[in-house]
């Protein structure tokens, strides 16, 4: 039992436990992978800097600030973001994406030197049998390319993050060969990718466990293991926590689940679940602001029913639910309203439960609405509002209820 004995939590009833605070970090890739979504607009540099500061405020430990070799605009934005991190003395650590090619890595070296801060180079290479077949790549070619790229980055003073694309569909022999080569050449972080959203939680767990036990442990090097997931099967959050259970140190995420196709593991829902699981303890009251800022900057929308930050996440117009919320609030304990009909405490994220009036509402909804707006609740007014709500096809907007109140007062 927890919450003063009001809830029995089966989530903590067994032996499947998650790490203590500080053991798992996030790498937010909104400003790189998130912009690969074909429906987004590339934000202005001012908008990107605003988003970066919101990441900092949420305690996000690392951010992918772009692929500078992609274009002059990308280069300029990466340099500006790196300099902002340096001049504002931000705690967030930057990384940049690059193919395993010197022409992609060199711009990161230049920007790191100009900004005067370390920038981790996320060097990625395709690895799965299907990709190798399509590209006519022998494994030996991948190994030589990996060795050359990692050594070039290390020689030029870059921390190296080595990434294999489509890791979740790659055979163990190739996984072992590629990561062992990268680690031997100086990579101190490696990223396991579910590039096409193929993995299930068991698959994520198995892969991370294999890499931890068969590659990282034998290397005897202090290697960070990252998990990078996609949402194609709707399993990105579950897979990320399975990866954590198997020993992943960092999860790569994107705000609002933006990204290629149906998107990447959502930053905000990782933060929500890490907070609820006790893995982090920090102020997340600006989480909704972060998500709305990203949506505005990328010209995308947050679905109304999106967890926690969606418009309907903590709204109800259903009579039974509203009645329970109202009774909880009137017991004088604000936590009760967050618990009785919600698995997420709105107050932890700077939000609150909202009761509205609609076709499925009861008298309690109307009385609550009138009380919140300091309007006397006589029987005639309550009946008229409820009658209008029952005949409507939607939840009544405040202005609609105010109009009914005004009409009733004139009678």
CA 160 to chain centroid: 23
Superfamily grouping for domain 16-298: Aldolase class I (3.20.20.70)
Q: Say which DSSP state 127 is in.
A: -
DSSP-derived secondary structure for 249-299: -EEEEBGGG-SSTT-B-BHHHHHHHHHHTTS-----TTHHHHHHHHHHHHT
CB-based contacts of 190, cutoff 8 Å, min separation 6: 161, 162, 163, 179, 182, 183, 211, 216, 223, 224, 225, 226
What is the end-to-end Cα distance of the chain in Å, rounded? 54
Strand positions, DSSP E, 113-269: 120-126, 160-165, 189-193, 224-228, 250-253
φ, ψ dihedrals at 29, nearest 5°: -110, 25
Q: Say which DSSP state 3 is in.
A: T
Find residue 254's DSSP bridge partners. 266
Q: How many CA atoms are closer than 13 Å to the CA of 246, on its beta-carbon side?
A: 26
Structure confidence at residue 366 (pLDDT)? 93
Structure confidence at residue 4 (pLDDT)? 65
Structure confidence at residue 411 (pLDDT)? 64
**Residue pointed to by tokens 């340099």:** 79
φ, ψ dihedrals at 122, nearest 5°: -90, 90
3-state secondary structure at position 153: helix
**How many C-beta atoms surround the C-beta of residue 256 within 10 A?**
27
- pLDDT tens, residue by residue, 179-194: 999 999 999 999 999 9
Are 369 and 356 within 8 A, CB to CB? yes
3-state secondary structure at position 371: helix
Sign of CA dihedral 226, 232, 236, 242: negative
Regions in the chain scoring below 50 on pLDDT: 1
**How many C-beta atoms surround the C-beta of residue 349 within 10 A?**
22
Per domain, the residue ranges of the chain are: 16-298, 315-410
Structure confidence at residue 1 (pLDDT)? 44
pTM of the model: 0.93
């Amino acid at each position: 039992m927890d919450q003063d004995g009001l809830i029995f939590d089966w989530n903590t009833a067994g032996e499947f436990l998650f790490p203590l605070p500080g053991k798992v970090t996030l790498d937010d890739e909104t400003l790189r992978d998130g912009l690969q979504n074909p429906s987004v607009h590339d934000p202005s540099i001012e908008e990107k800097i605003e988003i970066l500061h919101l990441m900092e405020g949420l305690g996000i430990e690392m951010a992918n600030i772009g692929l500078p070799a992609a274009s002059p605009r990308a280069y300029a934005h990466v340099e500006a973001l790196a300099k902002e991190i340096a001049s504002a003395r931000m705690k967030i650590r930057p990384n940049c994406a690059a193919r395993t090619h010197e022409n992609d890595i060199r711009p990161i070296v230049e920007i790191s030197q100009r900004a005067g801060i370390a920038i981790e180079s996320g060097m990625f290479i395709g690895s799965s049998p299907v990709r190798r077949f399509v590209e006519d790549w022998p494994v030996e070619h991948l190994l030589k390319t990996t060795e050359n790229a990692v050594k070039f980055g290390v020689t030029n003073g870059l921390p190296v993050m080595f990434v294999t694309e489509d890791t979740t569909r790659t055979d163990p022999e190739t996984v072992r060969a590629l990561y062992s080569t990268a680690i031997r050449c100086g990579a101190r972080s490696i990223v396991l990718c579910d590039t096409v959203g193929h993995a299930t939680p068991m698959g994520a767990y198995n892969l991370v466990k294999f890499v931890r036990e068969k590659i990282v442990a034998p290397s005897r090097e202090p290697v960070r293991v990252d998990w990078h997931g996609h949402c194609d099967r709707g399993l990105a959050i579950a897979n990320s926590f399975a990866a954590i259970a198997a020993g992943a140190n960092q999860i790569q995420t994107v705000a609002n689940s933006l990204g290629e196709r149906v998107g990447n593991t959502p930053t905000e829902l990782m933060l929500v679940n890490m907070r609820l699981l006790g893995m982090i303890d920090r102020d997340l009251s600006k989480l909704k602001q972060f998500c709305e800022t990203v949506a505005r900057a990328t010209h995308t929308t947050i679905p109304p029913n999106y967890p926690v930050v969606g418009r309907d996440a903590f709204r109800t117009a259903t009579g039974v639910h509203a009645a329970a919320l109202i009774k909880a609030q009137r017991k004088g304990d604000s936590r009760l309203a967050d618990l009785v009909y919600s698995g997420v405490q709105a107050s932890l994220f700077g939000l609150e439960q909202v009761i509205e009036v609609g076709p499925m509402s009861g008298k309690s909804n109307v009385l609550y609405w009138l009380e919140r707006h300091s309007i006397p609740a006589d029987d005639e007014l309550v009946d008229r509002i409820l009658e209008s709500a029952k005949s409507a096809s939607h939840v009544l907007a405040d202005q609609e209820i105010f109009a009914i109140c005004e009409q009733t007062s004139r009678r």
